[in-house]
Chains A and B, each alone.
Chain A
Amino acid sequence: MEITCAEALVRCLEMEGVELIFGYPGGAILPVYDALKDSKIKHILTRHEQGAAHAASGYARTTGRVGVCMATSGPGATNLVTGLANAYMDSIPLVAITGQVPTVQVGTDAFQEVDITGITMPITKHNYLVKDPKMLPMIVKRAFHIARTGRPGPVLIDLPKDIAMTPIQFKYPDDVKLMGYKPTVKGHGAQINQAAKLIMQAQRPVIYIGGGVVNANASEELVWLAETIDAPVVSTLMGLGAFPGDHPLFLGMLGLHGNKAANLAVTECDLLITLGARFDDRVTGRVAGFAPRARVIHVDIDPAEISKNVISHLPIVGDTKKVLEALLVRLDKKQNTTWINTVGYWKHEFAPRYRPGGEYLKPQYIIEEIYRHTGGDVIVATDVGQHQMWVAQHFAFKYPRKFVTSGGLGCMGFGLPGAIGAQFGRPDETVVLVTGDGSFQMTLNELATAAEQSLPLKIFVLNNRRLGMVRQLQEFYCDKRYMAVDFTFVPDFAALARVYGFKGFTVRTDQELQTALTEAFSDQGPVLVDCAIDPDENVMPMVLAGADICDALDYE
């Protein structure tokens, strides 16, 4: 029996096990929505396509499954772009489906036509414009395969309206053959042997982890590795939670706002074991000053990351979990007592800190209190800015896929829709959003989505009535010439949230904070807590541009 391509698409999605689609309809995608009407796949109507893309990303980040978002042609498609770029930078598996004008109109500047495959070429892992209706099932199969295998990433399928309505004989292909796409999963045996040798010889090893460990679900193997070889662990923003934040061997985040102990350990180590991390500029500071005394082992699923920014002495291309499994059987238990004592001293001496006191609540204190009230056993989504760094520094994530944040793109506005997606991914868990007053105002339209879907989000706005992170940059780099960073109008977020059915609190004192926290985590429903924080607080430590990561500015 023949069915339309739109119906075939929905069937394909069902066969891929898709349970949710975040999307927004329109003319060119009408046939697909019509077909969705008869499917058991749940469609979540967001309030903006950017929200749909970010929500799909939040879902994928917390579940490890492929997130799916959908939009119409033209403006619908361009509104997805930021979300796709965000997913691309953080290696998050997404499939985005966009409607397109009918084939005969493609290339004529038709109403609501944009070349979305052209636009998204640099920010998707791959994309397809469907030209032959018969190819649709194969394209969907390939899209999911590409999105979730190797280094994950977003894949876009652009479907012209006439093709969506064309009948085809439906058969979902069983396997995918792609001549040009065969990710290396298993590490090279000889390289792994060599790595084992280097590790056994090392006296001051450090394990440097990134989002690749999360993507590979390699946390267990990582803990074994660290404990077997007695090596401290430092993490990128994206890696937080992949190694237990309360583990004695954990030194916290490294890099520009990294913990001093983490940065010192990297600077002094003689072997840097890099797992699923990519030596981003926010991590390395001045490249020549990064791990200057170390030999570098680099395990990554993406060969292009090897020696891209920092030369690696021993590259191992492969899936981190598979490589660690192979490595562990080649290792003996060892101890690096002197090194661990040194590192332990740093960890204690330079624990994340802040200056208490003053008339305002300290943002770092609020993060610590959220941790205390929840036992740390919640999902935390953030936006981008100072508040994000304070969460990274002061919330000791114990498990992977609990920290939902925009790393590579640093995309303000990700927080709320990201939290919505996370809550759909993990309906039984508490989802906390820590946002800033600037970021929150970028996508707070999605409060309506959260309300409509009865999501019990716990939102904390760290409200400094300004773009705190940019103000901090201007303090250090522009001689305190503050420009375009202060809001002279800030809405009453608690009142605003109430309009959307949230319980809203405004807190200025510790006592008010405690009441709100207790309410937030005992109430079953959605709560927003607007926290007035010190507008002049800085994120410390801070490595200035061009400096080595061991030379960070800090409180006196």
Chain B
Amino acid sequence: MYHTLAVLVENSPGVLARVAGLFSRRGYNIDSLAVGRTDNPAISRMTIVVEGDERVLEQVSKQLHKLVDVIKISDITSSPHVDRELVLIKVNTDAGSRGEIMQIAQIFRANIVDYGHKNLTLECTGNQEKINAFEEALRPFGIKELVRTGKVAMLRGAKYTNINRTKEED
């Protein structure tokens, strides 16, 4: 089963290496990892998608907790949350296929961010299923290049994950 972890870390040098090293060293499988700073520049947030059963997940969380730079870990998998991923796809085009691609873009609410004679670059945001479907839709035209950010996620409603706690705001 896949779990989505929201991990707050001190924005110190080497923190990414520490987290990534821990996963490889202990044989945990990372499906994706996205990282960037939070509203507090001293703190970064990682969204880590990891595969494993409950027992593995418990170990992953506890081992992550042992890293001095890791401030907080929340497994948000089973709580209602929004998750998003962004993809950039450069796809082959010619006069014949351009119209169809633009239609697909419309269906997926994707944007065209670069236009060339022989190719188009599209940007699409959504959950992983949508991104996968978008990729499949474009595949027949010939994908030249593709990059995904990995998933970022946040709890829905009044719940939040910050450095103090994960809690329900009254």
Contact = CB atoms under 8 A, between A and B. Distances in A.
Nearest to B58: A307
Contacts of A180: 9-10, 67-72
A226 B80 CA distance: 48
A474 interface: no
Nearest to A311: B55
Which of A179, A180, A181, A306 has the most CB atoms of chain B within a 10 A radius of its CB?
Answer: A180
A292 interface: no
A118 B17 contact: yes
Nearest to A118: B17
B17 A302 contact: no
A122 B163 contact: no
A180 B11 CA distance: 11
Interface string B53-83: 0010011001101111111100000000000
Contacts, number: 42
A287 B116 CA distance: 62
A121 interface: yes
Given A179-B10, A179-B163, A125 B68 contact: yes
A1 interface: no
A178 B13 contact: no
A302 to B, nearest CB: 7
A302 B66 contact: yes
B134 to A, nearest CB: 37
B118 interface: no
A314 to B, nearest CB: 16
Nearest to A121: B21
Contacts of B59: 304, 308
Which of B13, B18, B59, B68 has the most CB atoms of chain A within a 10 A radius of its CB?
Answer: B68
B68 A181 contact: yes
Interface in B7-23: 9-10, 13-14, 17-18, 21
B155 to A, nearest CB: 20
A308 B25 CA distance: 16
Given A122-B21, A179-B163, A180-B71, A117 B14 contact: yes
Nearest to B55: A307
Interface in B124-165: 163
Contacts of A125: 68
A129 interface: yes
A180 B8 CA distance: 9
Nearest to B72: A180
Given A121-B17, A146-B68, A179-B71, 9 more contacts: A125-B68, A126-B68, A178-B68, A180-B9, A302-B66, A304-B62, A307-B55, A307-B58, A308-B59
Interface of A: 117-118, 121-122, 125-126, 129, 131, 146, 178-181, 302-304, 306-308
Ranked nearest first, the 7 interchain pairs of A and B with the lowest CB-CB distance are A304-B62, A180-B71, A126-B68, A179-B71, A181-B68, A180-B70, A303-B62
9 contacts: A118-B14, A126-B68, A146-B68, A179-B163, A180-B10, A180-B71, A303-B62, A304-B59, A307-B55
